[in-house]
DNA sequence: GTAAACAGTGGAGTACTGTCCAAGGTCAAG
DNA sequence: CTTGACCTTGGACAGTACTCCACTGTTTAC
């Protein structure tokens, strides 16, 4: 598919996709006329990128994940290891969120401020 | 306390704290010699800033939270409302993390890639 | 009283993540 | 065969969050 359609389906602008291509976050072939041509899998991939990004991963990290996925040996082991690693990161982040949540929760109703020091 | 001690205790650099002061993220008085003087509460506050930041909040958002905390009427209600609002944001983010986690978890062991489209 | 460690200011520079042109090439419809 | 929608490149600009520097003043330790 061409860049406009990918942009529409992924909810990004064409400029953003060109930027992502420049930093290696997506890759595509070129048509004879020079237009970019992306595979349909680019849509869910870019959606994953969005998600990972809001979870605190930098584009460089996400690009590296994509790279590892492409270069992984075809045994499922490499992929599983990669996923498990990401799951660990997610668990750590969730624990951190839970801590902050508990901290806030404990103060609800007590009027105890978060010491908003000046 | 002076800026160096605050920096050491909060795990930041002096430059970062000066930057934070410039954007209103921390405020302090000045000593007679012009040195900044921060209250001890600045330490936990900056630690909170760090946490909130890793959770995806911009410094501007965090600064506004601090502002709201300072300006809240002294009833506990305003603080509780603010905390509850933050808790909602945290819950939404945790749900998002849980979704991504489940997605990854389902692929561990299956060898099914995340469609790392190029 | 001097050297080291700490503090101040202003401003330049950096990395990341886009966003917006301008000038131009391609293609489908009427 | 022109119009409009789409595509190309290169480069300038923007916002966020620092980071570093030069130059200067202050405090502390010896």
Q: What pLDDT, on the 0 to 100 scale, is given for residue A3?
A: 98
User: pLDDT tens digits, residue range A22-69?
Assistant: 999 999 999 999 999 999 999 989 988 988 888 788 999 999 988 887
Cβ(A114)–Cβ(A107) under 8 Å? yes
> Which residues on A lie below 8 Å from B107 (Cβ)?
79-80, 83
d(CA B66, CA B68): 5
Rounded to 5 degrees, φ, ψ at B30 are -120, 145
Nearest to B97 among A94, A112, A113 (CB): A94
pLDDT interval class at A74 (50, 70, 90): low
- Check if residue A59 sits with its Cβ under 7 angstroms from strand C: yes
Å separating the CA of residue A41 from the C1' of nucleotide C30: 36
Test B26 with A107 for CB contact under 8 angstroms: no
> Which residues on B lie below 8 Å from A26 (Cβ)?
117-118
pLDDT interval class at A113 (50, 70, 90): low
Q: Please list, residue by residue across B93-118, b when 16 or more beta carbons sit within 10 angstroms of its beta carbon and e when fewer do.
A: bbeebeebbeebeebbeeeebbbbbb
- Higher model confidence: residue A15 or residue A72? A15
User: pLDDT tens digits, residue range B64-107?
Assistant: 988 887 776 654 676 677 778 888 888 888 888 888 888 778 77
Which chain B residue is nearest to residue A38, measuring alpha carbons? B118
d(CA B80, CA A106): 10
d(CA B13, CA A110): 33
Q: Which of residues 24-83 of B touch strand C (CB under 7 A)?
A: 34-36
pLDDT at B116 over 60: no
Q: What is the mean pLDDT of residues A84-95?
A: 84
Helices (DSSP H) in A58-115: which residue ranges?
59-71, 76-107
Q: What pLDDT, on the 0 to 100 scale, is given for residue A75?
A: 47
Q: How many residue pairs bridge chain A and chain B with CB atoms within 8 Å of each other? A: 155
Q: What pLDDT, on the 0 to 100 scale, is given for residue B56?
A: 81
Q: Which of residues 79-108 of A touch strand C (CB under 7 A)?
A: none
d(CA B25, CA B60): 8
- Higher model confidence: residue A46 or residue A97? A46
């Amino acid at each position: 598919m061409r860049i406009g359609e990918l942009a529409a389906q992924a909810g990004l602008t064409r400029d953003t996709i060109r930027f992502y291509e420049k930093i290696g976050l997506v890759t595509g072939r070129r048509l004879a006329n020079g237009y970019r041509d992306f595979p349909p899998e680019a849509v869910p991939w870019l959606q994953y990128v969005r998600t990972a990004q809001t979870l605190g991963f930098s584009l460089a990290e996400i690009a590296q994940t994509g790279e590892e996925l492409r270069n992984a040996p075809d045994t499922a082991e490499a992929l599983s290891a990669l996923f498990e690693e990401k799951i660990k990161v997610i668990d750590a982040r969730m624990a951190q969120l839970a801590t902050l949540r508990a901290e806030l929760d404990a103060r609800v109703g007590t009027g105890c401020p978060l010491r908003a020091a000046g």
